[in-house]
Amino acid sequence: MSITILIVDDEENTRLNLEALLKDDGYGTILAATYAEAKDHVLKGDCDLVLLDMQLTDGYGPNLIIEMATMPYHPPVIMITGYGDIETAVEIMKSGAMDFITKPVDFPRLQKAIKRASDFVSMKRELDHLRDSQNQNFDFVVGKSPKMIEIVELAKKAAQKKANVLITGETGTGKDVLAKYIHKVGNRSTKSMVSINCAAIQSTMLEIELFGYEANSFTGSAQKRKVGLMEVADESVLFLNEISSMPLEIQAKLLTAIESQNFYRVAGTQPVSVDVQVISASNHNLPAMIEAHEFREDLYYRLKVVEIELPPLRERVEDIPDLVGFFIHHFNMHMAMNVQGIDGIALEALQSHPWRGNIRELSNTIERAMIFCDGEKITLSDLPLEITRKNN
């Protein structure tokens, strides 16, 4: 990976010496003699790392780091200072520098600091790349139905307000997809959403997964502290999928955690504070479970500050053409095919099917039809019998 280092120093000799040494190590370099020039480079985003002199003729190095915090791109900074005293060191680190080196520069020490900073830069690049590719793979089809348009508006508002959202709806209506959408459009999308499927985890493990435990909290074995997902989701979104499967004792702990924004790890004595937006999803009737004392009513109200009920597909048939178009495109890409569309009669058959498995079933049907399809378009004969048979 190529790293470009911006060398900022008012002495020409220092700039040129550092440049020669860094070039030998394979780094790209840019030179700046003043605070203003350095700021200009950082604003343009043309360097990955900054070596910054403390005292410049037109400004004070640490101030640049403080200014950089508000810029869209802020590379890590290694400060170079003529003063080795504690006060200066503390001031530099407080300003947000990644490291500092005293003059005269000990080159091996500088090399080490640069290596550390460039590892950080490459890790960040990888993360940005992963995030971009995840966003590309993620698609949310809205369609034309007034219900879905209203749902998307509500979802956006909830995302902006960081409100807890409860998503309900039959299986396959898109609850997972909507949760991802809410995370993506909210201002917490710089941090990943943390998801847990409460139905897929043994109830004894669920508490540990969510809240973590302190070191050596179980007798007979030595373990390290485990950080729970609630903590991992700090300043981001926690997606509790299939919330109806959560045992009552854990519901009580979750309620307290949401209400007070802090909780105790298993066997912990110090509260852990968190700032978490909770999105939960369920395809069970939670009010009926409350009646049956299987779900806590107080938790239910905490979770559904905003409640979004996804309609079954049969109640939004006007969205079927958009969804079909989306799936044809999607499977063309994934199966290296070139299906151009669907004919009118086949589309009509899709619009009159009851779709008990909702969008998941529609997606599977299109995938299967494309495998059968010999021509340019999907026709009735590519669809399964239960869809083409009338009066189903």
Ligand X SMILES: Nc1ncnc2c1ncn2[C@@H]1O[C@H](COP(=O)(O)OP(=O)(O)OP(=O)(O)O)[C@@H](O)[C@H]1O
Residue numbers at the binding site for Mg ion (CB under 5 A): 175-176
Residue 363 binding result from Mg ion, ligand X, none, given CB thresholds of 5 to 8 Å by partner type:
ligand X
Is the CB of 263 or the CB of 326 nearer to ligand X?
Answer: 326
Over the range 75-86, which residues count as b (16 or more CB within 10 Å of their CB) and which as e?
A: bbbbbbbeeeee
d(CA 208, CA 323): 39
CA distances from 29 to 7, 20, 117, 123, 162 (A): 7, 9, 15, 20, 42
> Quick check: 169 binds ligand X (CB under 6 A)?
yes
215 closest CA partner among 232, 207, 227: 227
- Compute the C-alpha angle 330/346/316, nearest 5°: 70
On the 0-12 / 13-18 / 19+ scale of CB atoms within 10 A, 294 is middle
Q: How far is the CB of 177 from Mg ion (least distance, A)?
A: 9
Q: Residue 174 binds which entry of ligand X, Mg ion, none, with Cβ cut-offs from 5 to 8 Å by kind?
A: ligand X
Residue whose CB is less far from ligand X, 74 or 284? 284
Shortest separation between residue 322's beta carbon and ligand X, angstroms: 9
Q: Which is nearer to ligand X, 79 or 359 (CB)?
A: 359
Residue 365 in contact with ligand X, rule: CB under 6 A:
no
d(CA 293, CA 271): 29
Comparing CB distances to Mg ion, the nearer of 92 and 362 is 362
120 binds ligand X (CB under 6 A): no
Q: Look-up: residue for tokens 């900073």? A: 117
263/255 Cα distance (integer angstroms):
10
Based on the shown chain and the rule CB under 6 A, indicate whether residue 361 belongs to the binding site for ligand X.
no
- Give the rounded distance of the alpha carbon of 344 from its chain centre: 39
Burial of residue 382 (number of CB atoms within 10 Å: 0-12, 13-18, 19+)? buried
For Mg ion, which is the closer residue by CB, 175 or 188? 175
CB-based closest residue to ligand X: 174
Pick 175 or 353: Cβ nearer ligand X: 175
The DSSP bridge pattern shows strands 59-60 and 55-56 to be antiparallel
Residue 261 binds to ligand X (criterion: CB under 6 A)? no
Stretch binding ligand X (CB under 6 A), from 50-58, 157-165, 166-174, 249-257: 166-174
* Cα gap 388→349, rounded to integer Å: 6
Per-residue contact string for residues 194-233; x = within reach of ligand X by CB under 6 A: ----------------------------------------
> Binds 201, which of ligand X, Mg ion, none (CB < 5 to 8 A, cut-off by type)?
none
Select from 55, 63, 122, 171 the one that contacts ligand X (CB under 6 A).
Answer: 171
- Residue 131 · residue 236 · CB < 8 Å: no
By CB under 6 A, tell whether 176 contacts ligand X: yes
Q: Which is nearer to ligand X, 7 or 308 (CB)?
A: 308
List of residues contacting ligand X (CB under 6 A): 139-141, 169, 171-177, 283, 326, 359-360, 363
